[in-house]
Amino acid sequence: MGTKIDHRLHVFFLPLMAQGHLIPVIDMAKLFSSRGLKSTVATTSHFAPFLSKSLQNDTDSVVVTFKIPSADVGLPEDVEAVHMAKTPDMQNRFFKSCGLLGPRIADILERYRPDFLVADMFFTWAPDVAKEFGIPCLVFHGTSYFSLCAGLSVFLHQPYKTVSDDLEPFVIPDLPDEIEFTRSRVADFVKNNDGGVLSTWYKESKAMEERSYGVLMNSFYELEPGYADHYSNFLGRKAWNIGPLFMYEKRTEQRAKRGMEASIDEHECLKWLDSKKPDSVIYVSFGSVANFDDNQLMELAAGLEASGREFIWVVKKEKREGVREDWLPQGFEERIQGKGLIIRGWAPQVTILEHDAIGGFVTHCGWNSTLESVCAGVPMVTWPVSAEQFFNEKLVTKLLRIGVEVGAKKWRRLLGDFVKRDAVEKAVRKVMEGEEAEEMRRRVRGFAEMARRAIEEGGSSVLDLDALLEDLRLQCVARDTS
Ligand code: UDP
């Protein structure tokens, strides 16, 4: 076979079927397209319209759908996304089905014949399928270097076994910094190690990193240099940091658009924010999956009100006319008229965070939200719930010192740990008022500037991206000529 000099690289994306995993893949497809690559993204029919819409103007992308092997795992057929699996048992079945998708994806790869595969860490079989097709498999980790390093250390050394109490602190071993953690903050599927779906997956995902060609990171070197180095040099992983992915889109109004329609008119929202003073409003949102019970929502509302701060609060609750809402304190909505905005459903988060009026973000520390806050120069109140969010909290509060902890202590799969109103009030005040708040704001704005530089020509992320694409082109040429 001759060398295909003008061969246009074709990437096949396989993201987990969850908003927080699809959004950075949309950003990545746009970025790769701006570098002349074409892409195919595979997902369920639930997400296909959302993906097609997000990619239609900016990429030469194809969206292909697959069916989840629901019957094989006893999952209702209409559960096609993580947020639709409402109980731990359903979630287990959902993740189990991810482990069975290999043959279905192999059939699609046979048809599309891409040059490389970018697979979410939930598809631990992906390196083997890629090997069948003789193409490299890259793992996409939508999280921080710090959480990968800390997570691997806790998994390997099991320091939570050395303490006698759930809240007794231990130092996470073998990290560049001394970071304290507790057993209560470690994910159940790590500490129980019970052979269940998630604990098996977690082990396999670590092995997947080793069997793949390398790891793509939605982070930038200057944010966590010690941990980017630790991950590559000490843990021996080949990784490219090419983020923050959403920042490559220079058109601000496009940056926030990744398909989902906001539940509020964006102009209304901006008009509301325009009427507020700089850094005066706190934004409260917990991503696409995390949830709280009515008691907690009530406590949060009371804490926000007591802080005296103006706010935007995103709640996953529909308004039903004439139905009394038990999760809101009596008369709350009347009292907050003009001072607080409740968005029910999906908020235009990036647009909100980038507005001058936003002075703080109460966040669950999902990595996309954390990065979006960093890039907008907004300090955080950290309120982790599950996944790797408790590690991201430590990065934000202890290493970067751009946020304060609200005091959530217990890792919980679906509903967050209970936090009292006084703690909410105190944390909100701390991030919005006084000298410490000003220092955090100065620091986070420094990181925002570094993020902007990382994705400029010659910046650290662009250099890593260039190196990655060059590497993949050489791989492709080598394959074509062999
Ligand atoms: N998001 C949004 N509006 C919402 C909720 C979430 O735009 O009302 C976006 C948010 O900007 C981020 C993503 O959804 O890009 C959530 O990802 P993250 O990693 O923060 O959390 P996850 O949803 O995965 O827990």
| Predicted confidence pLDDT, tens digits, the chain (482 residues) | 444 446 799 999 999 999 999 999 999 999 999 999 999 999 999 999 989 988 988 778 899 999 999 999 999 999 999 999 999 899 999 999 999 999 999 999 999 999 999 999 999 999 999 999 999 999 999 999 999 999 999 999 999 999 999 999 999 999 999 999 999 999 999 998 778 899 999 999 999 999 999 999 999 999 999 999 999 998 888 999 999 999 999 887 778 777 678 899 999 999 999 999 999 999 999 999 999 999 999 999 999 999 999 999 999 988 888 778 889 999 999 999 999 999 999 999 999 999 999 999 999 999 999 999 999 999 999 999 999 999 999 999 999 999 999 999 999 987 899 999 999 999 999 999 999 999 999 999 999 999 999 999 999 999 999 999 999 999 888 888 87
Nearest protein Cα to ligand 1, atom 6: 287
Reported in sequence order, the residue ranges of 16-112 that DSSP labels E, i.e. its strands, are: 38-43, 61-65
Type of residue at 464: D
**pLDDT tens digits, residue range 36-58?**
999 999 999 999 998 998 898 87
Q: What's the token pair of residue 12?
A: 């096949």
Which atom of ligand 1 has the smallest separation from the CA of 372?
A: 11
Which atom of ligand 1 has the smallest separation from the CA of 350?
A: 11
User: Is residue 5 in a domain?
Assistant: no
Q: In terms of domains, do 464 and 403 share one?
A: no
User: Is residue 256 in a domain?
Assistant: no
Angle at which helix 145-157 crosses helix 197-211, to 10 degrees, equals 120
Total tally of structural domains belonging to the chain = 2
Reported in sequence order, the residue ranges of 266-413 that DSSP labels E, i.e. its strands, are: 281-285, 310-315, 340-344, 358-363, 380-382, 403-405
CATH of the domain at 71: 3.40.50.2000
Catalytic, 120? Answer yes
Q: In terms of domains, do 302 and 226 share one?
A: no
Nearest protein Cα to ligand 1, atom 7: 349
User: Is residue 160 in a domain?
Assistant: yes
27 CB near ligand 1 (under 6 Å): no
Q: In terms of domains, do 111 and 180 share one?
A: yes
Q: In terms of domains, do 432 and 467 share one?
A: no
Q: In terms of domains, do 201 and 144 share one?
A: yes
Q: What is the pTM of this model?
A: 0.96
Q: In terms of domains, do 146 and 223 share one?
A: yes
Rounded to the nearest whole angstrom, what is the distance from the C-alpha of residue 159 to the centroid of ligand 1? Answer: 31
Give me the catalytic one of 10, 21, 230, 364: 21
Helix (H) or strand (E) segment spanning residue 474? helix 460-481
Only one residue has tokens 């019957």, namely 71
Distance, in Å, from the CA atom of 254 to the CA atom of 401, rounded to the nearest integer, reads 30
Give me the catalytic one of 27, 115, 120, 279: 120
Catalytic, 21? Answer yes
346 CB near ligand 1 (under 6 Å): yes
CB distance 376 to 354 below 8 Å: yes
Q: In terms of domains, do 205 and 288 share one?
A: no
DSSP 8-state assignment for residue 456: S
Q: What's the token pair of residue 342?
A: 């409740």
User: Is residue 4 in a domain?
Assistant: no
Distance, in Å, from the CA atom of 420 to the CA atom of 427, rounded to the nearest integer, reads 11
User: Is residue 257 in a domain?
Assistant: no
Distance, in Å, from the CA atom of 293 to the CA atom of 283, rounded to the nearest integer, reads 20
Which atom of ligand 1 has the smallest separation from the CA of 314?
A: 8
Cis before 329? omega within 30: no
CB distance 448 to 361 below 8 Å: no
Reported in sequence order, the residue ranges of 302-376 that DSSP labels E, i.e. its strands, are: 310-315, 340-344, 358-363
Q: In terms of domains, do 437 and 462 share one?
A: no
Burial (CB count within 10 angstroms: exposed 0-12, middle 13-18, buried 19+), residue 329: middle
| Radius of gyration from C-alpha coordinates of the chain | 22
Query: CA dihedral defined by 243, 460, 375, 39, rounded to 10 degrees?
Result: -30
Distance, in Å, from the CA atom of 285 to the CA atom of 369, rounded to the nearest integer, reads 9
Q: In terms of domains, do 228 and 275 share one?
A: no
Distance, in Å, from the CA atom of 323 to the CA atom of 366, rounded to the nearest integer, reads 32
> What are the φ and ψ backbone dihedral angles of 268, each rounded to 5 degrees?
-60, -45
Rounded to the nearest whole angstrom, what is the distance from the C-alpha of residue 301 to the centroid of ligand 1? Answer: 21
Q: In terms of domains, do 364 and 216 share one?
A: no
> What are the φ and ψ backbone dihedral angles of 450, each rounded to 5 degrees?
-65, -40
Q: In terms of domains, do 300 and 230 share one?
A: no
Please give the ipTM for the structure prediction. 1.00
> What residue numbers bound the domain in which 299 lies?
262-451
Q: In terms of domains, do 278 and 242 share one?
A: no
Rounded-to-5 percentages of helix, strand, coil across the chain: 45, 15, 40
* Coil/strand/helix, residue 31: helix
